[in-house]
Amino acid sequence: MRKILGSTLFFGSFVVYALVLYVATLAEWTITERLSLGGVLYGISWGTFAIGSVLLGPEFLESLKKIIKLGNKENNKD
């Protein structure tokens, strides 16, 4: 259950960016309203990303590092 919730939050955090783009295109709202809601949505996205990462555990983060090659790299220059 923890992994299902974690993956939902982790990958769902990227869906929020579509809402940010939608809010940016609303012409009937003032710039202040759009910026405020965009900032709140951006914060929600990072919050769900962080909580999802914690729920998925360190083994998921290690596999993610290997996929995008952020782990320790050996330098084999002779």
Residue 53 contacts residue 75 (beta carbons within 8 Å) = no
Greater confidence, 8 or 65? 8
pTM equals 0.68
The two tokens of residue 2 are: 């923890």
Domain count, the chain: 1
- Is 52 inside a domain boundary? yes
Write out the residue range of the structural domain in which residue 38 sits. 2-65
- Is 7 inside a domain boundary? yes
pLDDT in tens, 9-63: 888 888 888 888 888 888 898 999 999 998 999 999 999 989 998 888 888 878 8
- Is 60 inside a domain boundary? yes
- Is 77 inside a domain boundary? no
- Is 75 inside a domain boundary? no
